[in-house]
Amino acid sequence: MFKKIEKDSFYYGFPVALMTTKDSSMTDNITVISSNWSLDKSMIIGLSLHSKGFLNLKMVHEATFNLADDTIWENVERIANTTGNENLPDYKKEAGYKYCSDKFTLGELTKIAGERVGSVRIKECPIQIETTLVDKKIRNDFAIIEFEIKNIFVNEDILFDSTHIDVDKWSPLIYKFRAYTTANQALGTNFRFQEFKK
């Protein structure tokens, strides 16, 4: 039997990315997101119009997507109820969000300078994707934003060789119905599998 249910949001399991952006005074911010996916050289995200991340992207069209693994879920949760936006909307105040000018210190996350973009990479994230903004579509109070991938950095710890990821060593942090989990239970591989696996 199936039951029809109603949900305002439906997070059935998405990878967690820490999106770094800069504002016009060059201050770095982290926006935790889970609405993200990539195809070829594109990266697509869903982002609240009230977030500091969105305000920053209106001014500086660059972002780095730092993909979190299962070892840093507590760092992510430490910054989860914060925003870099000083003018918190009422709904966020009521939900318990607080303004934070430096989520790197709060989350014990380390900045590494960007290469092709100004937004910083986060050392604790094994995969870092540098991008520039291509297009955005506004939908009520959020935007669907498309980026072009400029650079991908991968920590050597999860690489088999210079181009192949050892997939058993990559444990992405997954946000599943607002609980943190991971996805590293090997079941099998696709007929087009191109990475490394023991």
Ligand X SMILES: Cc1cc2nc3c(=O)[nH]c(=O)nc-3n(C[C@H](O)[C@H](O)[C@H](O)COP(=O)(O)O)c2cc1C
Cα separation, 97 vs 82, whole angstroms: 5
Q: Which is nearer to ligand X, 34 or 64 (CB)?
A: 34
CB atoms within 10 A of CB 23: 16
Report the C-alpha gap between 5 and 65 in whole angstroms: 33
Nearer to ligand X, 106 or 159 (CB): 106
For ligand X, the closer of residues 52 and 121 by Cβ is: 52
Closest separation in Å from C-beta 77 to ligand X: 7
147 belongs to the binding site for ligand X (CB under 6 A) = no
Q: What is the DSSP letter of 51?
A: S
Told to check if 125 binds ligand X by CB under 6 A, we report no
Of the two residues 89 and 155, which places its CB atom closer to ligand X in the complex? 89
Concatenating the DSSP letter of every residue in 143-167 gives: EEEEEEEEEEEE-GGGBSSSS-BBG
Q: Which helix (DSSP H) or strand (DSSP E) does residue 92 occupy?
A: helix 90-94
Please select the residue that binds ligand X; options are 20, 51, 64, 119, rule is CB under 6 A: 51
Which residues between 155 and 184 bind ligand X (CB under 6 A)?
175
From edge to edge, which strands make up the β-sheet containing 173-176?
A: 14-15, 173-176, 179-182
Q: Which two tokens stand for residue 168?
A: 């058993």
Q: Which two tokens stand for residue 29?
A: 């911010």
Among 20, 31, 66, 119, binds ligand X (CB under 6 A): 31
What x-and-dash track marks residues 6-25 binding ligand X by CB under 6 A?
----------x---------
Under rule CB under 6 A, residue 114 binds ligand X:
no
66 binds ligand X (CB under 6 A): no
Residue closer to ligand X (CB basis): 14 or 196: 14
End-to-end CA distance of the chain: 40
Q: Tell me: does residue 89 bind ligand X (CB under 6 A).
A: no
Interface contacts to ligand X, rule CB under 6 A: 16, 29, 31-35, 46-48, 51-53, 80, 83-85, 97, 175
